[in-house]
Amino acid sequence: YSGHGAQTRDLDGDETDGFDEALVPLDYQTAGLIIDDVVNVTVVNPLPSGTVLHAVIDACHSGTM
């Protein structure tokens, strides 16, 4: 991913700094941001145990993406 990133208030309390990192898709004004929790649930968690995922994310605030 190469595009805009953002931070948004953490609603589930899993971020020590109080903010979720987010990707800002083209349709964010109607569809919303893609927060790191959603990426984790939809992309990372379904991977089989032992799988190594390499992701390149070029966006502001993508540190924990």
Q: Which residues of 47-60 are buried (b: 16+ CB within 10 A; e: fewer)?
A: eeeeeeeeeeeebe
The question of whether 24 is a catalytic residue gets the answer: no
Catalytic-residue membership of 60: yes
What's the longest Cα–Cα distance across the chain? 37
Residue of 4, 37, 38, 59 marked active site: 4
**Which of the following is catalytic: 43, 47, 55, 60?**
60
- Which residue numbers are catalytic? 4, 60
